[in-house]
């Protein structure tokens, strides 16, 4: 049964909300589209996720992970495959990835990436700091608007944008 809220500062404002827990076999590839609210997903095969608003917690993905997010923090850990993220607003925290990490675009918020077996490529970061450590392959940033870039223990080449 959905829960509801019936009051606000400005009078009556009725809306309903529901918490769902869905259990599926771990071998199913998931494609999820979410418009609002926090989301926690764990122990899945591959995952493709489009999210408009709310914090995301994603853990234990046995294949590849793709996230397209508009707003809210993103916390990703324990992915055996590759990770690809595009984010408009909110911090990104990624750890323990078996293959490459690609940040296609990040408009605002800090990026923390650690313990990646292969490389990390950040195509565009508009604002916010970037912290990367313990990367087995190359670390590359194509464009960075504002915020610092800190890296430690990179196994391959480091390519950072030059300052104009």
The answer to whether position 6 is within a domain reads no
Q: Is 102 left (phi over 0), alpha (psi -120 to 50) or beta?
A: beta
Domain with 96, as residue range(s), is: 24-159
Q: Is 71 exposed, middle or buried (CB count within 10 Å of its CB: 0-12, 13-18, 19+)?
A: middle
The answer to whether position 54 is within a domain reads yes
Instruction: Give pLDDT, residue 21.
Output: 81
Q: Residue 162 carries which DSSP code?
A: P
The answer to whether position 7 is within a domain reads no
CA gap 61, 67 in Å, rounded: 13
Q: Per-residue DSSP letters for 3-59?
A: EEE--BTTB---EEE--------TT--EEEEE-SS-EEEEEESSEEEEESSS-EEEE
- Quote the mean pLDDT of the chain: 90
Q: Indicate the number of domains in the chain.
A: 1
Residue 4 has pLDDT above 90, yes or no: no
Per residue in 100-144, pLDDT (tens digit) is: 999 999 999 999 999 999 999 999 999 999 999 999 999 999 999
The answer to whether position 3 is within a domain reads no
Per residue in 18-45, pLDDT (tens digit) is: 777 888 888 889 999 988 889 999 999 9
Instruction: Give pLDDT, residue 1.
Output: 45
């Amino acid at each position: 049964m959905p829960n509801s809220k019936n009051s606000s500062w400005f009078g009556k404002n009725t809306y309903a909300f529901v918490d769902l827990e869905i259990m599926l076999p771990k071998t199913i590839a998931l494609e999820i589209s979410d418009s609002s609210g926090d989301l926690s997903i764990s122990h899945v095969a591959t995952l493709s996720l489009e999210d408009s608003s709310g914090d995301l917690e994603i853990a234990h993905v046995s294949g590849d992970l793709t996230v397209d997010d508009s707003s809210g923090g993103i916390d990703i850990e324990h992915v055996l495959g590759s990770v690809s993220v595009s984010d408009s607003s909110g911090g990104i925290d990624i750890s323990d990835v078996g293959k490459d990490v690609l940040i296609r675009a990040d408009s605002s918020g800090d990026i923390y990436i650690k313990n990646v077996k292969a490389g990390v490529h950040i195509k565009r970061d508009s604002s916010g700091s970037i912290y990367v450590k313990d990367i087995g392959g190359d670390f590359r940033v194509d464009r960075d608007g504002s915020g610092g870039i800190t890296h430690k223990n990179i196994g391959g080449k480091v390519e950072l944008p030059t300052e104009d």
